[in-house]
Amino acid sequence: MSETLSANHPNRLRAIEALYSGHHGWLYATLKRKLGNAMDAADLAQDTFTRILASQVTVIDQPRAYLSCVAKGILINWYQRKALERAYLEALANVPAHEAPSPETHFLVLETLHEIDAMLDTLAPQVKRAFLLSQINGLKYDDIAEQLGVSLITVKRYMKQAFVQCLMLVE
C-alpha cells in the first residue's frame, strides 16, 4: 500500500487523514504495549502524526514501517526527556523543602534543561564531552586535553564551539 503525501498534491490532507484513520489504532496499540500507559501512548501517537503532517514526505510505500520509524524517534526523545526529568527530581529530593523551587520555576528549569540537552545533542561527541567535563566535572582545559587525548588548542576550539551553541540557544 502506498500513500501519496506530496505537498503539491491537492489531496495531501485527505491522504494524511486516510493514513491516520487507517493506522492510528495500530500505532496507539503498539505504543501502549511498549509504554504500558494509555495517556502517554495517545500523546506519542498524536506527536507521530503531527510530525508527518509537518514533514516534506511525498510518498509512503509502507505506512506502518514509516510510522514505526517516526514513532521510534519520538519515543527515544520522550525517554530522554523522562530521564532528564527524573535526574532533576532526584536532585531536588536533596534540597530542603523551604528551598525547593516554585512550580513555575520548576517548569522553567525543566524546559531549560531540555533545551540545553537538545543543544548538546547537536554538538560533535568530542565537543560535547569536553563541554561536560568542563561544566559538570569542573575539569581545567589541560586536564580535559589529557583525558580526551587532544591538544590544549583543540579543547579551546571545542569549548568555543559549545559556548557559541549556548549563546545561540539564548538568542
User: At CA 126, angle to CA 168 and CA 149, rounded to 5?
Assistant: 140
Per-residue pLDDT at 155? 95
Across the chain, mean pLDDT equals: 87
Mean pLDDT of 31-50: 95
| pLDDT bracket for residue 2 (50, 70, 90) | low
DSSP-derived letter for residue 151 is: -
pLDDT tens digits for range 62-75? 999 999 999 999 99
Report the distance separating Cα 155 and Cα 133, nearest Å. 11
SS3 4: strand
The confidence band for 160, taking pLDDT boundaries of 50, 70 and 90, is very high
| Confidence (pLDDT) at 4 | 52
Q: How far is CA 103 from the centre of its chain?
A: 23
pLDDT, position 135: 85
Cell numbers of 51, please? 510530525
Averaged over 8-18, what is the pLDDT?
75
Q: Would you state the cell numbers that stand for residue 44, as one nine-digit string?
A: 506519542
Measure Cα distances from 98 to 49, 101, 105, 106 in Å: 43, 9, 14, 14
